[in-house]
Copies of this chain bind each other. A is one copy, B any other.
Amino acid sequence: MKPYFKLKSRNQLQNDILNHFNPLPAKKMSLDDALGRVVAENVISPEDLPPFSRSTMDGFAVNAVDTFGASESQPALFEVVGEVAMGKSPEGIEIQPGQAARIWTGGELPSGSNAVVMVEYTQAIDENTIEVSRSVAPLENVIEAGEDVGKGQKVLDSGAVLRAQELGILAGLGITSVKAHPAPRVAIISTGDELVPADTTPPRGKIRDINSTTLSALSRLAGANPVNMGIITDNRGGLSEACRKALELPADVVLVSGGSSVGVRDFTLDAFKAVKDAKILAHGVSVKPGKPTILAEACGRALVGLPGHVASAAVVFLLFVYPLLKRMQGFTDARHLGLPCVNARISRNYPSRPGREEYLRVRLVEDESGLVAEPVFGKSGLIYPLSQADGLLVIPRDSEGLYANETAEVLLLP
């Protein structure tokens, strides 16, 4: 048995992640590619949006003051001096006192007008004359030039998340590419002499690789691009070679599941140590499941050794790899770096051992007084209980367990 280094707490390891890894260098990307990404520049508007004052209604452009006092019983008369054709400049139309121009929703207000009377409040008298039966205030039914965004205005702060509406703003300003942090590339390696790929019928003594599929899906849910590197049998040279290949992809994060413990067949630590400039940040973390976890850093890239048992690997992914991938994507807010969480009452007594934080798979159900977390039991080598779970209930490090109906934090599974 090789010894573990001193176990780190979850907090210590999560701090290591924030301290040792940075957002990936930003790249110019199309708006399509930028959805959900974090912008890496302040975006200043190069122009006014809209570029001219626009009508928000179908009606007549007027100078508001000419409508003051108009009512159903005492309508105001206007001479109609033209029509603003849609998508055309209203050049040549100049609204004088007592004059109006036909205008459509989205049309540019002609010179001399500052408001639009809705067509519903007008009545044609003859070909060139209308009655207006309601007064309008200046700027009524108008979006002014620059009212949405002014030229020189900062529309996006570096660090903002690009949602549909932020992409809409960029499109509206003619900005069709933006500097943002790209998706990290995650190389996924499964280790174990007993593994065969999922599409292969295992001979006696072997089983199919579950971790590659599970970790690949979790990586995608965290916004990253997974690359499946296949199965490496348990030998030091093969694993070192696989890590080297992964870094050459280049991968930003290399995940190795299995072989991260301290047994004589556990080569992950050695393989990471053999990577050029690698620095081991942690070997062993005081969470259950998940104790045999390795985190190393090499030239800004991360090497993570996860337990071979699938439920343990998933917990370690969610606690450490998920925030690592979010960090690399430039997210800074705690709300984005971790899983969403809720409070729930546990449905039964559950004993735990102090000295480590325990993550219990739970199903969430709602009763009259709120959320109830029902433990889903099963060894950490099993995948099926994880599919019965909605979240991970956190039993604090110094606790001997929870009594039925005690409230605890539940991290929601993605």
User: Is A88 part of the contact surface with B, judged by Cβ < 8 Å?
Assistant: yes
Given contacts A176-B199, A387-B163, contact A171 B212 (CB under 8 A): yes
CB pair B58 A205 closer than 8 Å: no
A66-115 contacts to B, CB under 8 A, are 84-91, 104-108
A164-178 contacts to B, CB under 8 A, are 164-174, 176
Shortest A27–chain B CB gap in Å is 19
Chain B residues lying within 8 Å of A234, measured Cβ to Cβ, are 86
Residues 331-343 of chain A: 1 if any B CB is under 8 Å from the residue's CB, otherwise 0?
Answer: 0000000000000
CB pair A414 B164 closer than 8 Å: yes
Chain B residues lying within 8 Å of A147, measured Cβ to Cβ, are 379, 382
Chain B residues lying within 8 Å of A309, measured Cβ to Cβ, are 56
CA of A330 to CA of B212 in the docked complex: distance in angstroms? 27
Residues 52-72 of chain A: 1 if any B CB is under 8 Å from the residue's CB, otherwise 0?
Answer: 101010100000000000000
Shortest A305–chain B CB gap in Å is 14
CB pair A387 B86 closer than 8 Å: no
CB pair B105 A210 closer than 8 Å: no
CA of A234 to CA of B169 in the docked complex: distance in angstroms? 24
User: Is A209 part of the contact surface with B, judged by Cβ < 8 Å?
Assistant: yes
Shortest A191–chain B CB gap in Å is 10
CA of A108 to CA of B192 in the docked complex: distance in angstroms? 13
Chain B residues lying within 8 Å of A314, measured Cβ to Cβ, are 164-165
CA of A193 to CA of B192 in the docked complex: distance in angstroms? 63
Q: Which of A214-222, A247-255, A273-281 contacts B (4 or more CB under 8 A)?
A: A214-222
Chain B residues lying within 8 Å of A211, measured Cβ to Cβ, are 168
Instruction: Name which residue of chain B comes closest to A217, CB basis.
Output: B164
Q: How many copies does the complex hold?
A: 2
Chain B residues lying within 8 Å of A195, measured Cβ to Cβ, are 87
Chain B residues lying within 8 Å of A414, measured Cβ to Cβ, are 163-164
Chain B residues lying within 8 Å of A176, measured Cβ to Cβ, are 198-199
User: Is A19 part of the contact surface with B, judged by Cβ < 8 Å?
Assistant: no
CA of A56 to CA of B68 in the docked complex: distance in angstroms? 86
User: Is A208 part of the contact surface with B, judged by Cβ < 8 Å?
Assistant: yes
Residues of chain A at the chain B interface (Cβ within 8 Å): 1, 31-32, 35-36, 49-52, 54, 56, 58, 84-91, 104-108, 119-120, 143, 147-149, 155-156, 163-174, 176, 192-195, 198-218, 220-221, 233-234, 261, 263-265, 308-310, 314, 378-379, 381-384, 386-387, 389, 413-414
Shortest A180–chain B CB gap in Å is 14
Contact of A383 among B165, B210, B384 (CB under 8 A): B165
Given contacts A204-B91, A217-B164, A384-B148, contact A86 B169 (CB under 8 A): no
Instruction: Name which residue of chain B comes closest to A34, CB basis.
Output: B217
Shortest A290–chain B CB gap in Å is 15
Chain B residues lying within 8 Å of A192, measured Cβ to Cβ, are 86-87, 106
Contact of A382 among B32, B107, B143 (CB under 8 A): B143
CB pair B265 A194 closer than 8 Å: no
Contact of A106 among B106, B163, B194 (CB under 8 A): B194
Contact of A143 among B193, B206, B379 (CB under 8 A): B379
CB pair A165 B214 closer than 8 Å: yes
Chain B residues lying within 8 Å of A105, measured Cβ to Cβ, are 261, 263, 265, 308
Chain B residues lying within 8 Å of A36, measured Cβ to Cβ, are 221
Given contacts A56-B309, A105-B308, A106-B308, contact A168 B35 (CB under 8 A): no
Chain B residues lying within 8 Å of A52, measured Cβ to Cβ, are 204-205
CB pair B171 A265 closer than 8 Å: no
CB pair A213 B120 closer than 8 Å: no
Instruction: Name which residue of chain B comes closest to A215, CB basis.
Output: B164
Contact of A221 among B32, B35, B382, B389 (CB under 8 A): B35
Contact of A35 among B172, B203, B220 (CB under 8 A): B220
